Amino acid sequence: MIADRFRLAVAQLNPTVGDVAGNADLVRKARAQAAAEGADLVLTSELVLAGYLPEDLVLKPAFVRRCMEAAESLAKETADGGPGLIVGAPWRGEDGRVYNAALLLDQGEIRAVRTKYDLPNYSVFDEKRVFAAGPLPGPVDFRGVRIGLPICEDIWNDEVCECLEETGAELLLVPNGSPYWENRAEERLQVVVSRVVQTGLPLIYCNQLGGQDELVFDGGSFALHADRSLAFQLPQFETALGISDWRRDGDTWICENGTVAKLPDLDEANWRACVMGLGDYVNKNGFPGVVLGLSGGIDSAICAAMAVDALGADKVHAIMLPYRYTSEESIKDAADCARALGIRYDTVPIAEPVEGFASALSDLFAGTKEDTTEENLQSRARGVILMAVSNKFGRMVMTTGNKSEMSVGYATLYGDMNGGYNPIKDLYKTQVFHLAAWRNENRPDGLMGPGGEVIPANIITKVPTAELRENQTDQDSLPPYDVLDDILECLVEDEMSVGDIEQRGHDRALIHRIEHLLYIAEYKRRQAPPGVKITERNFGKDRRYPITNRFRDRS
């Protein structure tokens, strides 16, 4: 029997990797809500029962078995006459291999299994490590509608969708696990437009939501008609259940009532990604809150603001850790920032531990000059104190180093690099300044922090300094941040040659120096805590350079 109409629910959910029972409950609740709205079918995101990315959990038979059991249990529940379900799960085939699968559950059964054909193996993705590639798929029949189920990467090339169109699919429903980085929504839209033009079929794109370690999934699910017009658009960075009615119109399907959410601009999207990544990391790992050193500088101030937006002021504890080089201006700025955010603020002077270390080392260091060794004692004393507070009260230490500093090693191992998570790890210093000023002018809906000036203006305008010696500024050892960040973006994001960077107007000797610092700091970055991915090429899975590396571009 051929259907002429159906009501679709797109469930944009925030699963947790490994929490199979909890993820199944999210699907169950979404289905109940969809049933109350009269939906015929609920579409969920890629591997929703496992959470995405499950990485090597997929190699664990007990984990795969639990995901399959959860899918079978959900299938039985569809015998109630309510909506069918499309859910994603790892699936062990009859050949014994494990696949990334989309399952059609309806009328009490698993009615169809479709497996991912094109396994991504680039950037943050490593699916060929854990999954077998499935065959080119044909459509599935759902109550008289022939549906194609390409899975995420399957639509980034033309082979799968072409096969589905040729074998009779009437529309494409795509479960996705597509992580955020800058301008990613536009990139997805262009891919979907290409597939719609290629096949002449409407395409519904359902994306995962939520933070998973360094990745943030921003949702933003949407659909295009066969003529490439927008059928509906769900919000980014929010859970959502989008209900839409579809009717057959000749050889195609038309959405009659799709709502269109306004997507955030780049600044808001970057801010929300940092906030969501931090909040989900803290909450999904069971920390009661965070503690951080609030120095009076911009990096710790913006991290404190993000933490309050993510968790609420009651879950953020700031500590000023002054030493003889800490200025009165910094002490005032830190206190003003804590007051503006409404967070707990304590002061723990570090003179005694720093001088205790210096005394303990005095015989060993006799006859040497003071240098960065003594400066790093200050940072490491602060790190020890923050970790002690974390151990005592259970709150996670949040680190606050930006991408510019981590690129060139302007950070202290076992000092300011101590901690569990860093929301600005993938933001260059110039981006930090820009977003701090932006947040003072904007408070997006749904965030837990206050409006108004949450980062005192003086923190944004004053000259950056680590305050580890008298009259120190960052520019004593680094070029101006606009220069540094441009060189770093050329080296890190674009892998440009020294000669090409020089053509942009930069000094060749400075480029060589920055390249050298970038390479020799790799060992530090390997020991840094995770943090939110914002750029297309973050430090970690995106950029895997050897620690032992003598290459330098001297062409």
Active site residues: 46, 116, 152
Does 298 count as an annotated binding residue? yes
The per-residue DSSP string of 295-330 comes to -SSHHHHHHHHHHHHHH-GGGEEEEE---TT--HHH
- What is the rounded radius of gyration, in angstroms, for the C-alpha atoms of the chain? 26
Nearest C-alpha neighbor of 205 from the set 216, 226, 220: 220
Confirm whether residue 184 is marked as ligand binding. yes
C-alpha distances (whole Å) from 18 to each of 58, 219, 341 are: 10, 20, 34
314: Cα within 13 Å, side-chain hemisphere = 1
289 is in an annotated binding site: no
Residue 311 marked ligand-binding = no
549 marked as part of a ligand binding site: no
Alpha-carbon distance 177 to 217, whole Å?
7
Amino acid at 123: S
Residue 376 annotated as lining a ligand binding site? yes
State the CB neighbour count (10 A cutoff) for residue 166. Answer: 11
Helix (H, G, I), strand (E, B), or coil: what is residue 241?
strand
299 labelled ligand-binding: yes
The answer to whether residues 518 and 488 touch, using CB atoms and an 8 Å cutoff, is: yes
Q: Is 540 annotated as a binding residue?
A: no
Q: Is 446 annotated as a binding residue?
A: no
Is 367 annotated as contributing to ligand binding? no
Q: How far apart are CA 416 and CA 305, in angstroms?
A: 18
Q: How would you classify residue 144: left for phi > 0, otherwise alpha for psi between -120 and 50, otherwise beta?
A: left
Whether residue 127 contacts residue 154, with contact meaning beta carbons closer than 8 Å, is answered with no
Interacting residues of 69 by C-beta distance below 8 A, sequence separation 6+: none
Name beta bridge partners: 113: 103
Distances in Å between the alpha carbon of 9 and those of 164, 172, 236, 370?
22, 14, 17, 66
The amino acid at residue 466 is A
229 is in an annotated binding site: no
* Binding site, annotated residues for ATP: 293-300, 400
* Binding site, annotated residues for L-glutamine: 122, 178, 184
* Binding site, annotated residues: 122, 178, 184, 293-300, 376, 400, 405, 524
* Binding site, annotated residues for deamido-NAD(+): 376, 405, 524
